[in-house]
Amino acid sequence: MEVEDGGAVSDRETGTHGGSPPGWPAAIGLLVTVVGAVGFVVAFVTNASTAWLGGSLAAALLGLGVALAYWGRDLAGDEVISGPYPAPHDDVPGAAALGGDLEQSAHVITRRRFLSRFLIAGVGVFAVSQAVILGALGPRPGRSLFVTAWRPGSRLVTFDGEPVTRDVLAAGGILVAFPEGHTDAADSQIALFHFIGGELKPQPGRETWSPEGFVAYSRICTHVGCTVAQYMDEVQMLACPCHQSTFDILDGARPLAGPARRPLPQLPLAIDPQGYLVAQSDFTEPVGPGFWDAG
């Protein structure tokens, strides 16, 4: 095997004892590449479907890949070479020497004990102080997690803004409602139900919260905050599609199954003289998932 000076290794045939492998697989691959590339241009210009665009481009890439890979695998010879791994540090004066050199060069700093410690302290304090910039990223939560858009006397409206009267919701149905004027308030969304057969179990301290069998709960799951959108009519349960927390609608939305622990907050309802459903006040507990201060 002749090897030219200058680093180029040319004219090498394979190391096998047989004949050299054929070149036609690479040629076919490159042919597929050309067809694919042309096809891609045509597909693009004619606004063809994603399938044609992707298929032709994929063909071009795969053809090129097969050609190059085959070339590297079969046509470039199966030369196997060996060489040394870099020696471990104890064979070569590496890190140990580095430590010594560094110590020597940095002596000007380390020599002054007090000053260098002051330097470290100063840089440290400065670096830590910059963390305060993170405070610009957002507001402090304050009371926002404890307050929604519901106020005493807020009328219930549908997501279209239509006020909810007695006859909007037949018995056994579900209605999604918001405070009037706040149909974009994510934390205020409620699910409204209507029970006329006395199935609702009275909740201690909340006897006036469900006038005429209307009851409303927050739709934000107390587990991790998904919208509790699954209503099962036969068993009167409200379940969350995310992790299947299940709440008993007839019993204060207390959790029956799944990873939620706290019941869905109930909205105190009233019916005003004009027949509209209104809230008596905001929720008496934070809606949604629990957090430290909610205790």
Partner 1 sequence: MSDRRLMRSLRTAFGVRRSPLRRAAGWLDENLGGGSRLLREELRHVFPDSWAFFLGEIALYCFILLVVTGIFLGLFFHASQAPVVYHGSYQPLVGVPMSDAYSSVLDLSFNVRAGLLVRQVHHWAALVFVAALMIHLLRMFFTGAYRRPRRINWVIGLSLLMLVGFNGLLGYSLPDDLLSGAGLRIAYSITESIPFLGPTLASLMFGGQFPASGIIARIYPVHIFLLPAGIAGLLGLHMGMLWLQRHTEFPGPGRDDRTIVGTPMVPAYALRTSGYLMLVAGVLTAFGGLLQINPVWLYGPYTPWDATTSAQPDWYMGWLEGAVRMFPGWDIQIGGFLLPAVFWPAVILPGLIFTPLFLWPWLDGMALRDGGFHNVLTLPSERPGRTAIGAGFVTFLTVLLVAGGDDVLASAFGLSLPVLLRTLQVLFFVAPPIVALLTYVVFRRRAQRWLATGR
Partner 2 sequence: MSRSAVHNGERRGRRFCRAPGRPRLRRLAQLCVILVVLVVVAAGPAGASPQASPSAALEASPGANPALRGVAVNPAPEVFAENCSGCHGSRGEGGFGPPLAAAGFASLVAPMVEKGGIQMPSFGDQLSDAQIQGVAEYVAAHIADPASHEAVVADGGEIYRLYCAGCHSTTGRGGALTRGRNAPDISQYPAAEALAAMILGRGDMPAFAGNTLDVRRQTAVGLYVGVLVDPPSPGGRGLGYLGPVTEGAVSAIALLILIFLAVWLAWKSRTAAP
Least gap, CB of 8 to partner 2 (angstroms): 12
Give dist(CA 155, CA 178) in Å, integer. 8
**Does 258 participate in binding partner 1 (rule CB under 8 A)?**
yes
**Does 256 participate in binding partner 1 (rule CB under 8 A)?**
no
Site for partner 1 in 199-228 (CB under 8 A): 219, 223-228
Compare residues 208 and 230 and give the one whose CB is closer to partner 1: 230
Tokens of 130: 């910059």
Which helix or strand (DSSP H or E) is residue 113 part of?
A: helix 113-129
> In terms of C-beta density within 10 A (0-12 exposed, 13-18 middle, 19 or more buried), how is residue 86 classed?
exposed
Site for partner 1 in 92-131 (CB under 8 A): none
Tokens of 124: 């440290």
Widest pairwise Cα distance in the chain = 105
Site for partner 1 in 261-290 (CB under 8 A): 261-262, 288-290
Q: Which does 92 bind (CB under 5 to 8 A by kind): partner 2, partner 1, none?
A: partner 2
Number of alpha carbons in the 13 Å side-chain half-sphere of residue 84: 3
Judged by DSSP in three states, 254 sits in strand
Q: Which amino acid is at 87?
A: A
Q: Which amino acid is at 208?
A: T
Compare residues 229 and 270 and give the one whose CB is closer to partner 1: 229
Q: Taking a C-beta distance cutoff of 8 angstroms, is the pair 87, 22 a contact?
A: no
**Does 68 participate in binding partner 1 (rule CB under 8 A)?**
yes
Alpha carbon of 188 to those of 191, 215, 220, 232, 243: distances in Å? 10, 15, 9, 22, 21
Point out which span in 57-65, 197-205, 265-273, 277-285 binds partner 1 (CB under 8 A): 57-65
Q: Which does 173 bind (CB under 5 to 8 A by kind): partner 1, partner 2, none?
A: partner 2
Tokens of 95: 């890190």
Question: Where do contacts with partner 2 occur on this chain (CB under 8 A)?
Answer: 1, 3, 15-18, 21-22, 25, 28-29, 32, 36, 48-52, 54-56, 58-59, 62-63, 66, 69-70, 72-74, 78-84, 86-87, 92-94, 159, 167-170, 172-176, 227, 229-235, 237, 239, 241, 244, 246, 257-258
Point out which span in 64-72, 111-119, 160-168, 209-217 binds partner 1 (CB under 8 A): 64-72
Compare residues 177 and 282 and give the one whose CB is closer to partner 2: 177
**Does 55 participate in binding partner 1 (rule CB under 8 A)?**
yes
